[in-house]
Amino acid sequence: MVEEQKGLTNKKDTTMYLYKLLKIIAVIGLLLLVTACSQEPAEIHYGNDECAHCKMMITDAQFASQIVTDKGKVHKFDAIECMAIYYQMNQDELDGAKLYVSNYAKPGNWLNAKKTQFVKSEVVNSPMGESLIAFPSRKEAEKHISDRPGKLLKWAEVSQIEM
């Protein structure tokens, strides 16, 4: 009788252990799924990552940009103009995507491209030559062009750029 009870206890313990293990695996799986579909900006590996549009190496954080699709796929660019052209060419596939540009004054700080103030600079050269740079506010962009000539642009104008 005692041996039967030990056997039942061992089966019950094993079942509880497997149940807890399945719960842990399910939670880890959900966390991986959530992070895989994140639309947060991805890290760019400068000197290793390639521009999705022009295929040049991304080397300068001041001009980098990226598109993160609603499924979490990341397209990285070496210049804002490359992202704008890529967006024009693939707009149907990019419905729901988030567009990020690097803050020119604080490289690596990502800005929502659709809410960003752009400057088409007359003195700063971007990798592809359109000389587009991004600032988080109109005030910061105006401060920049007070020292170095340029023209203020919004995303609606940048997104129509032709190269």
153, 116 in Cβ contact below 8 A?
no
- What's the whole-model pTM score? 0.78
Please, what sign has the CA dihedral across residues 154, 160, 126, 40?
Answer: positive
pLDDT band of 112, cuts 50, 70, 90: very high
Scanning the structure block, which residue is given the tokens 């020292």?
147
The answer to whether residue 34 scores a pLDDT higher than 60 is: no
What tens digit of pLDDT does each residue of 3-31 get? 666 766 777 888 888 888 888 777 666 65
Condensed to tens digits (0 to 9), the pLDDT of residues 81-101 reads: 999 999 999 999 999 999 999
Our CA dihedral for 3, 7, 9, 14, rounded to 10 degrees, sits at 160
